[in-house]
Amino acid sequence: MDYRIRIFDPEVLSALRLTLVWAVVALLPAYASAMVVASMSRGRGLRPLRGLAVLPGMFYAWVVLVLLRRFAPDFRFSMVAVALAWVLAGIPYLAVTFSEGIGDLDPRKREAMMSLGASRLRLWWHHDFLQTLPVQASALLQQLWYILTSFSIVMILGGGPPHETLEVAVYTSMRLDRVDPGLAAALAFWQALILISLRFAIRRLRSAPVTGFTPRHAGERTGRSPVVVWISMFAMVLLLATRQEPQEWIRPLFTSVSLAVLSATGALLLALAAYFSGWRGLAEIGAWISPMILSWICWSVSMRWNLGSLPVLVLIQSVLFSPWFARSVFPILDRKRTGEIEAARLLGAPAASAWIHVEWPRVRGPVLSVAGWVAALSVMEVSSVMWFSRGDFDTLSSWVQNLFLRFRIDEAGVGFAILGLLAYAFLWLTEKGGK
């Protein structure tokens, strides 16, 4: 194995160039479209988009594949198709985030501008656009992270290794038949450098913190969209009626739910441990490290300690998802209610009890809200399951992906509906948390 980190290796620079060029190509239309949608909706009517925002990359990959097969078959397995999937995946997420940003603005400022005679265009520019720049910046950064670490989309649409974007190149260099840690580290270095540089640049340019997406109102919107539930329920009944062996999907369903619950709990515990130990930056590691590298590290740990696949997968997802808790919960913990804690102590509460009585009720809502979101993401996640489970088990999403790969599209569609129902159930938690 070659452990020399070859930062300027031609293979590394080629993957970097490919990823960056196509990331820009994909980001611009997604950004523009999302801005239009958000400006038109003004914080309302984005329920369907909220649901689409949690769907995994493979969903968009398959939509693009089906579309291109019909309308432009020559582009099916190309970077154009990959970019198109990135655009489609980016629009719901960016639109929901921008719209929430606009919805959170003080409406009195807008009214004041209107009363002073501002035109619609000026209102949009000075109020909606300029005021939400920090939200836009952090959402774009998040979307860029998604593109830089994108794996399934490139594998399905780019044909895998022929189009070696950063994350796919990491995967290639970490495969058992070609383990090259030096090359993988160089690729991951560029990936992290870009993201961290952008984060610091944004923080410097704007005094506002880059917080990333916080699914504050997620459930509010999904909760009032029963049509999603009915469609999914119908699909489930259909599956039960037509399939002879429901245990085929019951086991993956159970695995997915267990993994989601354990990962959400693990991510929360990791984030809290990092916060209270004073190493709060550790909770963000999952946001800056290549998921493939992370998987490889965990795999090495599992080999050393003889851990089973499932605990290691929980560990991977906990590390990957702890930034969501860090970004939503840390700012609340930072605004400590010192006076109330002191009052509780003097009224007879020991330190831990005072925290539970005073701080926990404030943190509980956001924790539940993020837990639901994280669980929904975990249910949809495919790459680390495919990379890691090594055939020991299937989650529902990897099971559905396998159906797609075997071109059992109708069954895969039903599987997706069940997956959607499950994600919806977890998003319902965000509603409980938001209230």
Partner 1 sequence: MSFECRGLRVEGPGFQMTADDFDVGPGEWLEISAPSGFGKSTLLRSLMGLTPVEGQLRVSGVEMNGQPLHRRRFGVVFQDQALFAHLNALDNALFGLRIRGRVSDGDRARAEDAFRKLGLLDRIRAPVDELSGGERQRVALIRAVLFGPVLLLLDEPFKGLDAEHLRSVMDYLQSFQSESPVPVVWISHLHGTGVPGKRLVGGDRNGHRHFQLHHP
Answer for the pair 101, 213: CB distance below 8 angstroms, yes or no: no
342 part of the interface to partner 1, by CB under 8 A: yes
334 part of the interface to partner 1, by CB under 8 A: no
Shortest reach from residue 159's CB to partner 1, in Å: 54
Answer for the pair 136, 61: CB distance below 8 angstroms, yes or no: no
Shortest reach from residue 360's CB to partner 1, in Å: 9
Shortest reach from residue 335's CB to partner 1, in Å: 12
Q: Which of 349, 355, 408, 428 binds partner 1 (CB under 8 A)?
A: 349
337 part of the interface to partner 1, by CB under 8 A: yes
344 part of the interface to partner 1, by CB under 8 A: yes
Q: Which of 362, 402, 421, 432 binds partner 1 (CB under 8 A)?
A: 362
- DSSP secondary structure string for all residues of 189-214: HHHHHHHHHHHHHHHHHSSS------
278 part of the interface to partner 1, by CB under 8 A: no
* CB < 8 Å & 24+ apart, contacts of 37-41: 37/91, 37/95, 37/98, 37/99, 38/94, 38/95, 38/96, 38/98, 38/99, 38/101, 38/102, 38/128, 39/98, 39/102, 39/124, 39/128, 39/129, 41/95, 41/99
- Token pair of 175, please? 């495969």
- Token pair of 199, please? 């984060």
Shortest reach from residue 355's CB to partner 1, in Å: 12
Cβ closest to partner 1, residue 170 vs residue 358 = 358
391 part of the interface to partner 1, by CB under 8 A: no
- The residues, ordered by sequence, that sit 6+ positions from 285 with a Cβ below 8 Å of its Cβ are 319, 322, 323
Answer for the pair 368, 264: CB distance below 8 angstroms, yes or no: no
Shortest reach from residue 435's CB to partner 1, in Å: 13
Tell me the H-state helices in 206-337.
Answer: 218-223, 226-242, 247-277, 285-288, 291-305, 309-334
Q: Which of 32, 104, 353, 405 binds partner 1 (CB under 8 A)?
A: 353
126 part of the interface to partner 1, by CB under 8 A: no
357 part of the interface to partner 1, by CB under 8 A: yes
- Using CA atoms, how far residue 273 sits from 106, 209, 255, 262, in Å, is 35, 22, 26, 16
350 part of the interface to partner 1, by CB under 8 A: yes
User: Which among 85-93, 153-161, 334-342, 369-377 is the span making contact with partner 1, rule CB under 8 A?
Assistant: 334-342
- Token pair of 298, please? 């965990």
> For 145, what's the count of Cα atoms within 13 Å in the CB-facing half-sphere?
25
308 part of the interface to partner 1, by CB under 8 A: no
233 part of the interface to partner 1, by CB under 8 A: no
CA–CA gap between residue 167 and residue 272 (Å, rounded): 29
Encoded one letter per residue, x for contact with partner 1 by CB under 8 A and - for no contact, window 133-152 reads: --------------------
331 part of the interface to partner 1, by CB under 8 A: no
User: Which among 179-187, 196-204, 294-302, 343-351 is the span making contact with partner 1, rule CB under 8 A?
Assistant: 343-351
Cβ closest to partner 1, residue 329 vs residue 344 = 344
10 part of the interface to partner 1, by CB under 8 A: no
Q: Which residue, 287, 57, 288, 291, is CA-closest to 174?
A: 291
430 residue type, one letter: T
> How many residues belong to the site for partner 1 (CB under 8 A)?
19
104 part of the interface to partner 1, by CB under 8 A: no
Q: In which residue are the tokens 């999403």 written?
A: 397
Binding interface with partner 1 (CB under 8 A): 337, 339-340, 342-351, 353-354, 357-358, 361-362
